[in-house]
């Protein structure tokens, strides 16, 4: 009898699948906990069995390999079972954000071509009946939002027909909207997710790993932390909703070793008055992604929070990834690190040509971790690609960056956020960095406002530190004394908080819209 493959042997392969790995763990360590949420948990054996029931239910309903399954609901064990069970049936998972508008959700459902829609009462209320016809609805929370999940499931001990998945087959579609405009469905192939899970071996994931997942399940940020944990046989502790005190209590009680967090979470956690009272010595590695991570905050995390810190820069679309191993390069905290092994990252100018070694340019990247394209949008896919002289495909990031002499990448700004004033390029991040030096400023965000004289002119939005009473005029005058003539701010507006996506990105689009609504017809000129 041929001995069964071990999970470690499968992870050593150039290609495998997450459902197959879970099956191996279910056989080897059936009682080990895979997922935990509050008082609920799923062992690897229970997860494997539930995935079989989900996959069998899809096949019983006539689902064919490649069909699309949309999920829009709060964090739950059932949510994960449907996602992973759909993969076992060869289907394509589409996690959607419950925080999207009803119209956006409807458009994403239509664009995805989903045949099945898993939701809960909260999502049903948000949608207000705006669901495209012909989609089978299943209520994960067994409410009237759809057919009850327990009734829809195949019987216990059900076994689905085996499906053969190829590397180029779609794994999931992640919809991107948030910070840069209309939603786009990013098709991530199985090969891309396999590369994600295999790199977990290099970050200390394994049988003893305990990851704390505190961001929503529809977010790629969350999934790139969950999947390597499960692929390496660890345990994922889930939070239904992020709360600083609850995060710290869970981290201490569960002896958490890994966490993927966005910078605003680090800011809130490290700023909690009782942070230093918690025992976080179990942490092996912390990760950050999704938005700029200020160097001062990285330094504070390194100083006060045990374990390593890796700041990753990349896109949901894939392409090239940079990683700053902050605990090894504390003098490079202002950068996003160097290209990951096997990742080719270059900088190009407005003309599409590569720029010189000391010049700034748009970041483009190529690696084994690349999207297939935008779902049903070939024109947008083509616009997101750049090809080198040999015809190799790269993904454009829209970010402007510069490499230093040691090969570390510093991000200057978003290409779309760049302000062109009087023919000069103004990078908002430069202005934000100046404002951040003021003792009253907690956060700053700069956007371009229309100007008859200059075309565009910079306007800043600022959140003050608690107890500060600085005015917008005072901050504007203070900053303009330190800025170059063409950089000067036309105005500084004080806000209580910035609009953010669910994973903490500042929504500059909303700030621009607020600016346009409140100042229509105003001919702005930078302060002299």
7-241 CATH choice from 3.40.50.720, 3.40.50.10310, 2.40.50.320, 3.40.50.980: 3.40.50.980
What is the CA 268 to chain-centroid distance, rounded? 18
pTM greater than 0.75: yes
Mean pLDDT of 67-79: 98
Mean pLDDT of 142-165: 97
Which pLDDT does position 178 carry in this prediction? 41
Which pLDDT does position 418 carry in this prediction? 80
* pLDDT tens per residue across span 184-209: 899 999 999 999 999 888 898 999 99
* Record: fold of 424-518: GMP Synthetase; Chain A, domain 3 (3.30.300)
Q: What is the DSSP string of 295-347?
A: HHHHHHHHHHS-SEEEEEE--TTBS--EEEETTT-GGGTTS--EEPTT-EEEE
pLDDT at 180 over 50: no
Q: How confident is the model at residue 528 (pLDDT cuts 50, 70, 90)?
A: very low
The runs of H, that is alpha helices, within 254-289 are 263-270
What is the CA 165 to chain-centroid distance, rounded? 25
pLDDT at 297 over 70: yes
Between residues 370 and 423, which one has the greater pLDDT?
Answer: 370
Which pLDDT does position 38 carry in this prediction? 97
Residue recorded with tokens 């085996």: 162
Q: Is the dihedral of CA 344, 350, 352, 357 positive or negative?
A: negative
* pLDDT tens per residue across span 239-271: 999 999 999 999 999 999 999 998 889 989 999
- The top-scoring range by mean pLDDT among 92-101, 126-135, 146-155, 351-360 is 146-155
- Domain boundaries, given as residue ranges, for the chain: 7-241, 424-518
Q: How confident is the model at residue 177 (pLDDT cuts 50, 70, 90)?
A: low
* pLDDT tens per residue across span 446-477: 999 888 777 789 999 999 999 999 999 999 99
Question: Are 7-241 and 424-518 the same fold in CATH?
Answer: no
Which pLDDT does position 423 carry in this prediction? 65
446: its two tokens: 């700069």
How far is CA 33 from each of CA 5, 201, 235, 286, 353, rounded to the nearest angstrom? 21, 19, 6, 21, 51
């Amino acid at each position: 009898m041929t001995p069964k493959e071990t999970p470690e042997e499968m992870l050593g392969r150039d290609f495998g699948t997450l459902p197959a790995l879970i099956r191996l763990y279910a056989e080897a360590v059936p009682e080990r906990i895979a997922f935990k949420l509050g008082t609920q948990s799923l062992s690897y054996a229970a997860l494997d069995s539930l995935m079989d029931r989900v996959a069998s239910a899809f096949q019983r309903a006539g689902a064919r390999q490649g069909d699309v399954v949309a999920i829009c609901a709060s964090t739950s064990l059932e949510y994960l079972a449907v996602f992973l069970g759909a993969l076992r049936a060869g289907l394509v998972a589409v996690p959607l954000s419950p925080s999207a508008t009803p119209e956006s959700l409807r458009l994403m459902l239509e664009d995805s071509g989903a045949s099945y829609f898993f939701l809960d009462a909260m999502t049903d209320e948000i949608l207000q009946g705006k669901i495209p016809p012909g989609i089978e609805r299943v209520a994960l929370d067994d409410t009237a939002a759809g057919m009850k999940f327990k009734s829809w499931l195949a019987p216990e001990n059900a076994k689905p027909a085996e499906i053969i998945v190829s590397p180029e087959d779609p794994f999931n579609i992640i919809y991107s909207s948030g910070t840069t405009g209309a939603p786009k469905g990013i098709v991530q192939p199985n090969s891309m997710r396999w590369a994600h899970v295999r790199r977990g071996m290099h970050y200390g994931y394994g049988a003893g790993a305990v990851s704390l997942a505190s961001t929503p399940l529809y977010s790629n940020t969350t999934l790139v932390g969950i999947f390597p944990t499960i692929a390496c046989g660890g345990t994922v502790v889930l939070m239904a909703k992020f709360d600083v005190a609850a995060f710290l209590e869970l981290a201490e009680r569960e002896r958490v070793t890994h966490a993927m967090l966005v910078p605003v979470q680090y800011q809130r956690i490290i700023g909690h008055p009782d942070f230093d009272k918690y025992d976080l010595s179990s942490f092996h590695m912390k990760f950050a992604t999704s938005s700029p991570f200020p160097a001062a905050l990285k330094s504070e995390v390194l100083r006060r929070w045990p374990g390593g810190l890796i700041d990753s820069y990349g896109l949901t679309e894939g392409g090239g990834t940079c990683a700053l191993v902050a605990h090894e390069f504390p003098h490079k905290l202002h950068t996003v690190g160097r290209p990951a092994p096997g990742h080719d990252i270059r900088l190009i100018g407005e003309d599409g040509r590569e720029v010189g070694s000391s010049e700034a340019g748009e970041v483009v990247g190529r690696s084994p971790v690349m999207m297939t394209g935008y779902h049903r949008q070939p024109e947008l896919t083509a616009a997101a690609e750049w090809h080198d002289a040999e015809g190799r495909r790269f993904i454009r990031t829209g970010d402007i960056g510069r490499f230093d002499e040691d090969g570390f990448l510093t991000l200057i700004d978003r290409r779309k956020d760049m302000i062109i004033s009087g023919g000069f390029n103004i990078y908002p991040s430069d202005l934000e960095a100046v404002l951040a030096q003021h003792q009253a400023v907690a956060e700053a965000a700069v956007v371009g406002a229309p100007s008859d004289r200059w075309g565009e002119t910079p306007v800043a939005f600022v959140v003050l530190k608690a107890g500060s009473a600085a005015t917008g005029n005072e901050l504007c005058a203070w900053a303009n004394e330190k800025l170059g003539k063409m950089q000067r701010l036309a105005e500084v507006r004080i806000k209580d908080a910035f609009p953010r996506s669910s994973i903490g990105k500042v929504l500059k689009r909303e700030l621009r819209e607020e600016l346009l609504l409140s100042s229509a017809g105003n001919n702005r000129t930078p302060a002299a």
